[in-house]
Amino acid sequence: MRERERVFVKVSVSEALHHSVMAPAGLLPFLHHIRTLSSASVKHSSQILHRTSAELHHGPVYVLFHRRNVSTEETLSHRVSHLTVRERTVLELLYDGLVSGQRSSLAESITLVETQHPRKKELAQVLLQRVLAYRQERERIAGGKPVAFRVGLSGPPGAGKSSFIEVLGKMLTGKGHKVSVLAVDPSSCTTGGSLMGDKTRMTELSRDMNAFIRPSPSSGTLGGVTRTTNEAIVLCEGAGYDIVLVETVGVGQSEFAVADMVDLFVLLIPPAGGDELQGIKRGIIERADLVVVTKSDGDLVVPARRIQAEYTSALKLLRKKSKTWTPKVVRVSAQTGQGVPELWGIMLQYRDVMLYSGELQTRRREQQKVWLWSLIQENALRHFQEHPEVQAALPELERRVAQGDVSPGLAADLLLRAFRTTQ
C-alpha cells in the first residue's frame, strides 16, 4: 500500500508539472490529493513500516521505524552505554586532561568536535555534554557568573587584528589570565587558502604557556565552522581559559556568526579611507559594541583620529543594540601599545555593566537558541538536498524554473511535498 502511494507521488510530481503548464487550475485537486496522502502517511502512530526510496530500487527491504518521544536523558545514557571500553577510556583521558588544563587535550578535543566522522561526532557530543556539566557546576559555584569573557574581533584583511590580539593577549596573560584565540575564516573552508594569512601569526603569544591559539578549520561550510567554534568555546572554557577571543575576517556572514557567539563584539578598522573601508558592511557596524581604530601611530595618528570621529558620529545615527551600553570608538596602536590598557579597561566596564543589568545573561540565552536554529537549518537543508526523491525531481524542476514555465514557489512546494510524503 505504502509502496503504491510512493510510486504514485513520484509519478504525480511530473503530472503536476504537466498540469501547471497546460492548465494551472488542474493543480489544485492534485495538491489536495498529495496533501491527503501525506496526512495518511503520518497517521500511523507508534510504529510504521517505512520504505525508503533507495529500497524501491534495491529490493524489498523494510525498515522498522519507531516513532517515540525523544528524551534527552535517555538519548545521552544510550550514547554512553553504547561506548566501547576503548572509546570510554579515550574520552575519560581527554576529559581529565582538558579539565586539568592540558593544552594537548584541549587541541585533541577540538579536533574531535571538528571531525566529519559519524562515530567520532557522537563521541564529541558525549565529551561536550560532560564539559558543559562541569562548566555549569563551576558557574554555580561562582554564583552564576560566567567562567569566561567571550570577545569577538572582526575586521577586514590587514586591519591589524593579529598584531592587536598578540599585544592584548600578552598583556592579559601577564595579568594572570588564560587566553584562548579561535579563528573563523570562511575563505579557508571554500578555497583551502586563508584570507587571514597562512603566515605564522601571533608568534609570541603562541609560545606563551597561558595562551592557546587555534586556527580556523580548513574544511566545511560556514555553518559547520560556526558549530565547531561554538563547541570549541565550551571546550576552552572547560580547560580553564577565562578569556576567549574569537577572530574573524569580514567575509560573507562570518562576522554575523561570530557576533552571535560572543559577549562583546569588537570591530577593528584600519586608519585608511575610501575603498578599503567600503568592504565594511553597515549591518556589522550596528552589531559592534566597540569600534577600534588600529595603527594609531606615527603618520597614521591623523587619519586614525579622522576615522574615529567619523565612526563616532555614524554610531550615533544607528539603532541602539543594548539598553545599557552605548558603543564607543577608541584608537590603539599595536606597534607602540598605546591605548591597549585603556581599551581593556573599557572592555571590562562593558562586561560589568552588561552582567549587572542581566543583559549579558539574556544575550547568552538568545545565542544558545540562535545556535540551535542554525544547526537545525543546516541539518534540515542537508537532509532535504540528500533525499532521493528530491534529488530525482530536482534537475527537471530546476530546469523548468530557469526556463520560466514553472514558478519557483510551485517547484519548492512540490519538492517539499515529495520530501514530506516519503519521510
Ligand X SMILES: Nc1nc2c(ncn2[C@@H]2O[C@H](COP(=O)(O)OP(=O)(O)OP(=O)(O)O)[C@@H](O)[C@H]2O)c(=O)[nH]1
In terms of CB distance, is 53 or 338 closer to ligand X? 338
How many angstroms separate the most distant Cα atoms in the chain? 80
Shortest separation between residue 206's beta carbon and ligand X, angstroms: 14
Does the protein bind ligand X through residue 163 (CB under 6 A)? yes
Shortest separation between residue 247's beta carbon and ligand X, angstroms: 8
Shortest separation between residue 158's beta carbon and ligand X, angstroms: 4
Nearest to 300 by CA among 262, 273, 266: 273
In terms of CB distance, is 157 or 215 closer to ligand X? 157
Does the protein bind ligand X through residue 155 (CB under 6 A)? yes
In terms of CB distance, is 220 or 270 closer to ligand X? 270
Q: Give the strand order in the sheet containing 179-184.
A: 211-214, 179-184, 243-249, 149-155, 264-269, 290-293, 328-331
Stretch near ligand X under the rule CB under 6 A, chosen from 43-51, 117-125, 154-162, 397-405:
154-162
Stretch near ligand X under the rule CB under 6 A, chosen from 43-51, 295-303, 350-358, 395-403:
295-303
- 342 contacts 167 by C-beta, under 8 angstroms: no
The DSSP output letter for 338 is T
Amino acid (one-letter) located at 241 = Y
Q: How are beta strands 47-50 and 63-66 bridged, if at all?
A: antiparallel
Shortest separation between residue 214's beta carbon and ligand X, angstroms: 15
**Cα distance between residue 265 and residue 201, in whole Å:** 21
Give me the residues paired with residue 142 across strands.
Answer: none
Shortest separation between residue 289's beta carbon and ligand X, angstroms: 19
CA 366 from chain center: how many Å?
A: 14
Quick note: the x/- pattern for ligand X over 167-206, rule CB under 6 A, is -----------------------------xx---x-----
- Judged by CB under 6 A, how many residues of this single chain contact ligand X? 19
- 189 contacts 222 by C-beta, under 8 angstroms: yes
Shortest separation between residue 219's beta carbon and ligand X, angstroms: 20
Does the protein bind ligand X through residue 252 (CB under 6 A)? no
- 64 contacts 47 by C-beta, under 8 angstroms: yes
Which listed residue (41, 180, 254, 333) binds ligand X by CB under 6 A?
333
- 332 contacts 340 by C-beta, under 8 angstroms: yes
Binding interface with ligand X (CB under 6 A): 155, 157-163, 196-197, 201, 249, 294-295, 297, 300, 333-335
